[in-house]
């Protein structure tokens, strides 16, 4: 009898998740003759057996170019700290033993957890309790250590760069300052790389707290050179030096994740206070998480999926597939989740931006 393995997708979705699911099922069935159980809605699905269903070659047919995840996901519901209502108020319970019992009753011998930092930390905690877990890194934020890239990031970059191309023409026609707020949580990767690729004049990232005067000086200098418009990319986690992040919503119901957003409008107000120019703000939001994955993300996600199955065959548990240079290797999940991979404020990409005359707000 072949093995039975499980797969779940946790945290915020991103393009390429379906490509991983497809690769896992294909590799498990075709190469090893194993059965795959798809677990719906992240770790929540392991608390409800009706959410655990077999995945076959038929069920993954045609999903490669589709955004989202056929398994569903959630960025709430950590089984180690699960929100439950008791006597009218929310308390947190440890349901991890129930997860383990359910995995055993389903006969799942190994679990592939596809997720970002939060989901991989849960996977690591399960592995510490004896569950055979393999991780696959995903997030548009590209903020996971150990892997050069997460899948989803490249597609998000394309979306942000496309938005910048479109904002250019209208900014130029109306002689306006156009601000594009992009995602990325506490990391500035999306803002920095899309800003360079999209020809931004100012890029604001969390790793470099900005000074509003620098932004205004840059816009004035451009005007003096005859460019009567400016394009600013601001990461949702950026904040002014000496100030704090703009939080749209604090974490609640067991989620420690605060929702960021609103810095674009704050920067607009600061610019309007020092310059007599029309300023408009576009918040790109979840468009960055949707749509069909790029070729790069499809290929990377497929490689991660097949590697995860091979890692199970080699019993490389508690480890995560990652991209190093041109190779996919296995690394301990612990190393990948210890801290976030942030932009080096003095690194090559930042220096390139400065060399191109881009203002980074300092």
Asked if 75 touches ligand F6P (CB under 6 A), the answer is yes
Closest distance between ligand F6P and the C-beta of residue 286, in Å?
Answer: 6
DSSP tag of 293: P
In contact, 33 and 16? CB cutoff 8 Å: no
Nearer to ligand F6P, 41 or 141 (CB): 141
DSSP codes, 84-148: EEETTEEEEE--HHHHHHHHHHHT--EEEEEESHHHHHHHHHHHHTT--EEEEEB-TT--BTT-S
In contact, 24 and 302? CB cutoff 8 Å: no
Neighbours of 237 (CB within 10 A): 26
Asked if 147 touches ligand F6P (CB under 6 A), the answer is no
In contact, 144 and 168? CB cutoff 8 Å: no
Nearer to ligand F6P, 103 or 322 (CB): 322
In contact, 122 and 144? CB cutoff 8 Å: no
Based on C-alpha coordinates, what's the Rg of the chain? 22
Site string for ligand F6P, 21-60 (x = CB under 6 A): ----------------------------------------
In contact, 124 and 110? CB cutoff 8 Å: no
Asked if 19 touches ligand F6P (CB under 6 A), the answer is no
CA distance 17 to 242: 38
Interface residue with ligand F6P, options 15, 16, 42, 184 (CB under 6 A): 184
Nearer to ligand F6P, 190 or 309 (CB): 190
Stretch that binds ligand F6P, among 100-108, 177-185, 218-226, 324-332 (CB under 6 A): 177-185
Closest distance between ligand F6P and the C-beta of residue 140, in Å?
Answer: 5
Nearer to ligand F6P, 125 or 258 (CB): 258
Q: Does 276 qualify as catalytic in the annotation?
A: no
Stretch that binds ligand F6P, among 2-10, 44-52, 137-145, 169-177 (CB under 6 A): 137-145
Asked if 234 touches ligand F6P (CB under 6 A), the answer is no
Nearer to ligand F6P, 262 or 332 (CB): 262
Nearer to ligand F6P, 160 or 212 (CB): 160
CA distance 251 to 249: 7
Asked if 260 touches ligand F6P (CB under 6 A), the answer is yes
Stretch that binds ligand F6P, among 15-23, 139-147, 299-307, 352-360 (CB under 6 A): 139-147
Give phi and psi for 358, each to the nearest 5: -80, 135
Residue written as token pair 């904040």: 239
CA angle 204, 337, 96 (to 5 degrees): 130
Asked if 73 touches ligand F6P (CB under 6 A), the answer is no
Nearer to ligand F6P, 79 or 184 (CB): 184
At 340, list the tokens.
């976030």
- HSE on the CB side for 313, CA within 13 Å? 15
Stretch that binds ligand F6P, among 55-63, 179-187, 207-215, 293-301 (CB under 6 A): 179-187
CA distance 38 to 9: 9
Interface residue with ligand F6P, options 140, 157, 301, 308 (CB under 6 A): 140
Instruction: State the distance between the two ends of the chain, measured CA to CA, in whole angstroms.
Output: 62
Instruction: Give how many residues touch ligand F6P by CB under 6 A.
Output: 13
Asked if 183 touches ligand F6P (CB under 6 A), the answer is yes
Asked if 289 touches ligand F6P (CB under 6 A), the answer is yes
Q: How far is CA 129 from CA 6, 123, 149, 223, 234, in A?
A: 17, 10, 29, 61, 41
Of 13, 41, 44, 141, which one is the catalytic site residue? Answer: 141
Asked if 336 touches ligand F6P (CB under 6 A), the answer is no
Q: Which residues are tagged catalytic?
A: 141
Task: Return residues touching ligand F6P (CB under 6 A).
Answer: 12, 75, 116, 139-141, 183-185, 236, 259-260, 289
């Amino acid at each position: 009898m072949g093995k039975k393995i499980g797969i779940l997708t946790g945290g915020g979705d991103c393009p390429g998740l379906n490509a991983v699911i497809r690769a896992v099922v294909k590799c498990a069935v075709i190469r090893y003759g194993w059965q795959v159980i798809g677990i719906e809605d992240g770790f929540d699905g392991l608390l409800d057996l009706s959410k655990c269903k077999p995945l076959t070659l038929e069920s993954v047919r045609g999903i490669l170019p589709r955004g989202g995840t056929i398994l569903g996901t959630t960025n709430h519901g950590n089984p180690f700290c699960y929100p439950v209502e008791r006597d009218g108020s929310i308390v947190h319970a440890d349901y991890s033993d129930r997860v383990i019992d359910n995995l055993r009753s389903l006969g799942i011998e190994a679990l592939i957890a596809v997720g970002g930092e939060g989901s991989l930390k849960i996977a690591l905690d399960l592995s510490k309790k004896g569950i055979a877990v393999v991780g696959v890194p995903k997030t548009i934020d590209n903020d996971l250590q150990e892997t050069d890239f997460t899948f989803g990031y490249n597609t998000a970059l394309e979306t942000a760069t496309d938005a910048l191309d479109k904002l250019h023409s209208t900014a130029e026609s109306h002689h306006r300052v156009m601000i594009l707020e992009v995602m990325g949580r506490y990391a500035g990767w999306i803002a920095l790389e899309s800003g360079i690729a999209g020809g931004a004049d100012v890029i604001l990232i969390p790793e470099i707290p900005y000074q509003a005067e620098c932004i205004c000086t840059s816009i004035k200098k451009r005007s003096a050179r005859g460019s009567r418009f400016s394009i600013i990319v601001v990461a949702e986690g950026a904040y002014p030096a000496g100030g704090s992040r703009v939080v749209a919503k604090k974490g609640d119901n067991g989620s420690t994740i605060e929702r960021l957003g609103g810095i674009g409008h704050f920067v607009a107000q600061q610019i309007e206070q020092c310059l007599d120019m029309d300023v408009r703000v576009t918040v790109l939001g979840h468009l960055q998480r949707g749509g069909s994955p790029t070729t790069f993300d499809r290929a990377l996600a497929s490689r991660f999926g097949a590697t995860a199955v091979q890692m199970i065959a080699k019993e490389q548990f508690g480890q995560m597939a990652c991209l190093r240079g041109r190779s996919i290797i296995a690394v301990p999940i612990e190393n990948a989740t210890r801290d976030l991979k942030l932009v080096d404020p003095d690194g090559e990409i930042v220096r390139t931006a400065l060399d191109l005359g881009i203002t980074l707000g300092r």
